[in-house]
Amino acid sequence: MTTQNSRQGQQERGGRERLVVIGNGMAGMRAVEELLAIDPGRYAITVFGAEPRGNYNRIMLSPLLAAEKRFEEILLNDLDWYAANGITLKAGDPVVAIDRERRVVTARSGLECGYDRLLLATGSDPIVIPVPGRDLPGLVTFRDVDDVAAMVAASARGGSAVVIGGGLLGLEAANGLAARGMETTVVHLAGHLMERQLDASAAHLLEGELARRGITVLTGADTAEILGPDRVTGVRLKDGREIPADLVVMAVGIRPNAALAREAALEVGRGVLVDDDMTTSDPEILAVGECVEHRGQCYGLVAPLFEMAKVVASRLAGRDGLGFTGSVPATKLKVSGVDLFSAGDFSGGPGSEDIVLRDAGRGVYKRLVLAEGRLRGLVLYGDTTDSAWYLQLLRAGEALGELRDSLAFGRAYAGGAVTQDPRQAVAALPDEAEICGCNGVCKGRIVETIARAGLTSAEQVRAHTKASASCGSCSGLVEQLLAVTLGEDYRVAEGAEPICGCTPHDHDSVRRLILARELKTIPAVMQALEWSTPDGCHSCRPALNYYLLCAWPGEYLDQAAARFVNERLHANIQKDGTYSVVPRMWGGQTSAAELRAIADVVERYAIPTVKVTGGQRIDLLGVRKQDLPSVWRDLNAAGMVSGHAYGKALRTVKTCVGSEWCRFGTRDSTAMGIALERMTWGSWMPHKVKLAVSGCPRNCAEATIKDFGVVAVESGWELHVGGNGGMKVRACDRLCKVETAEEVKLWCGAFLQLYREEARYLERTAPWIERVGLEHVAERLSDPDRRAAYHRRFLESQRHAQVDPWAERAAGAEAEAFRPLASVEG
């Protein structure tokens, strides 16, 4: 293109230069956003994207797969945004050639587009290892929305999945598939998971958590072949083991997509070579993102890509300043309920020293690697509260001095000066401290925006700065910054702690607002109450799921993704990865038919251990995960349902033989226990609940250390509440005495419903009564009409709770047979 034609084109565009962006991903569009913020009228911008959609947040593919997000919720820039900013988007039409001499790009459709400046943001390609069967249908990678759609479709058909690769993407894919009900195995070549980000100790803790979620992990496992004549049927390892699979996910890594640059004769190494100004070997062409190689380093994490984007925008706007000099990689695993962070070099070696803190009880592990008195790398598992502070120390590279002795205890104990309030710790961070690693947002920018725009909520901070808008793990820090910046104007519900770091609301406020605002889904609660994370955490999601179940029985659809593996599979996972199955035995009473059915199941599935529990039931230990649907099918066929030994629900109703057999018994305690269990079983509670009925004051069923205990006396039944026989033994409080069996059931249902409606999630009846007082409970239940209303609400909740909603919705004959909650008459 001649200089004259170029100048004529600029005049037609109002004097604006032409900027063409090849790639519509996060890095390229972040550079465009930064450019629009500092020089919005300089360029006429055209963007070519390979995918037929707007720009979306690839970081959130994991919660999209896990059904925690919808695509609309992870979309960063919709089509209206491009139009509003005067950007021409060519979606689904990737560039296939660059003519540097003519300054023209050619798209797959044949369209040619001239440029004055060109930005390469072609990203990376997933690596598919060269093994036989790699081209079979049923093998997918995990890089874009189409890959997620393929995995979702496969999971809807059920079956098993093998994920090849135990890195970040592999584990997030495995978690999402397991959450959708697939039998999932991770095959990893290295000796432990995430070996580039974790040491062996942290990886061991992570592997244990994945096992609790039902994910099998095979380390030191080298893939030899993908099996299947026409489509995937399994994976064979080089040691000869074969793993059945209906889906194989290849997540072994990525490589920079530099093919287009190489064909255009730009200098290329592993990626497109750039200098500190992000300029390629052609001064009119810049590059950004995963396609880039800078100072011998390629980056696959989003934080350094956003740092590059700032430099690109500055250079395109004609501004001088500091260039991109490299970045310290920091990693967070986006698996709900797993707190994990690593940064820098933790390989150790000569001249380095380790500071290690282990708290087995809390599941916390910290390893800090020092060299020459400076922090060089770190691994945090179970407690990532101080991750931003450690990362700041790491990037500053300054000598630790006296700070070294208290370093492992975090920012609150920095230099020996105890700072118990986390807000004081975040207040002490310098303005340049990074708060949101995903979006490269520092403390100073957040504080300045809060003051300038008058922000009062984390949601508003997210909208203005994008802090916490991606993985959400920095939401607690954002809340603390709000509190520090607003001071007395910052308001948290009085008299209660927040549910978690995702929200300033306490349990009681959330329950009240769910009813007052008629909020009937988890996303609706989070949106209306301005949750500071996109999809909550392992603390708030189960709580919200329970509160909605309790508030809207029959309307709210129980969310399996908000529950851990035990409640999803109706079985307790054991330390060896097998499961424990406990069928319900009404009041501890059984029959020859039930015992025969149990014996048949034990033999048929080679269950190694059968044990009588303390709750007068039989526990089948060592059940393989793949056998669980069949085990429950066979038990259901004999009329046996789940004993909820895994659940926040009624566990057992313990009884003695009572007056029917015992010479001391005054009333039929067994019949009463069976009646109470048939009335109360199946309903989700704030925590586990245990009942007992004793036939006389000798109390052989230990009714006075149960959540609800009934003791028969000559003149009727004494009712006791709030007992606990666990680690902290608490004797019951005597609630009242009644005369008839119907009154026992009425008071029991009313008491449990009061507990369900008022207790906080994971609060047992004992601490609940200690908090609110027995007088409060007695007062709420003393009025006959109110007591009857509580009882009616309890029975209404039971009508929906005693049928398994997941089995009803599941597809396939095997899932239909898996009905451990199937309705039982009586």
Helix, strand, or coil here: 707? coil
C-beta neighbour count of 621 within 10 angstroms:
17
- The two counts, helices (H) then strands (E), for the chain are 28, 38
Quickly tell me which residue has 């959540």 as its tokens. 707
What pLDDT was estimated at residue 472? 57
Binding site, by residue number, is 656, 662, 696, 700
Rounded to an integer, what distance in angstroms lies between the CA atom of residue 31 and that of residue 742? 71
Burial of 362 (0-12, 13-18, 19+ CB in 10 A): exposed
Domain map of the chain by residue range? 3-124+256-316, 139-252, 492-563, 568-641, 648-826
Are the folds of 3-124+256-316 and 139-252 the same?
yes
What pLDDT was estimated at residue 360? 73
What pLDDT was estimated at residue 8? 47
What pLDDT was estimated at residue 421? 52
Binding site for siroheme, by residue number, is 700
The C-alpha angle 655, 656, 657, rounded to 5 degrees, equals 120
pLDDT digits 0-9 by tens, 374-408: 999 999 988 887 888 888 889 888 899 888 888 88
CA neighbor of 757 nearest in space, from 510, 587, 407: 510
pLDDT digits 0-9 by tens, 15-70: 799 999 999 999 999 999 999 999 999 999 999 999 999 999 888 888 888 876 77
CA neighbor of 533 nearest in space, from 581, 478, 491: 478
Binding site for [4Fe-4S] cluster, by residue number, is 656, 662, 696, 700
pLDDT digits 0-9 by tens, 263-286: 999 999 999 999 999 999 999 999
CA neighbor of 58 nearest in space, from 23, 84, 83: 23
The CATH H-level superfamily of 3-124+256-316 is FAD/NAD(P)-binding domain (3.50.50.60)
DSSP characters for 414-438?
A: GGG-----HHHHHHTS-TT-EEETT
- Which fold, 568-641? Sulfite Reductase Hemoprotein; domain 2 (3.90.480)
CATH architecture of the domain 139-252 equals 3-Layer(bba) Sandwich (3.50)
What pLDDT was estimated at residue 826? 30
Class of CATH domain 648-826: alpha beta
| Structure tokens, 671 | 């019949």
What pLDDT was estimated at residue 801? 64
CA neighbor of 148 nearest in space, from 74, 219, 62: 62
pTM for the model stands at 0.60
| Structure tokens, 246 | 């209906």
Q: Across the 826 residues of the chain, what is the mean pLDDT of every consecutive 10-residue run?
A: 45 76 96 94 96 90 81 87 96 97 97 98 95 96 95 92 94 90 95 88 88 92 96 96 97 95 97 97 97 94 88 94 84 72 82 86 85 92 82 88 87 57 68 74 88 82 78 69 80 60 81 81 81 81 92 84 78 88 91 94 95 91 91 89 88 91 90 93 90 94 94 94 88 94 96 94 92 91 90 81 46 40 38
CA neighbor of 94 nearest in space, from 1, 21, 17: 21
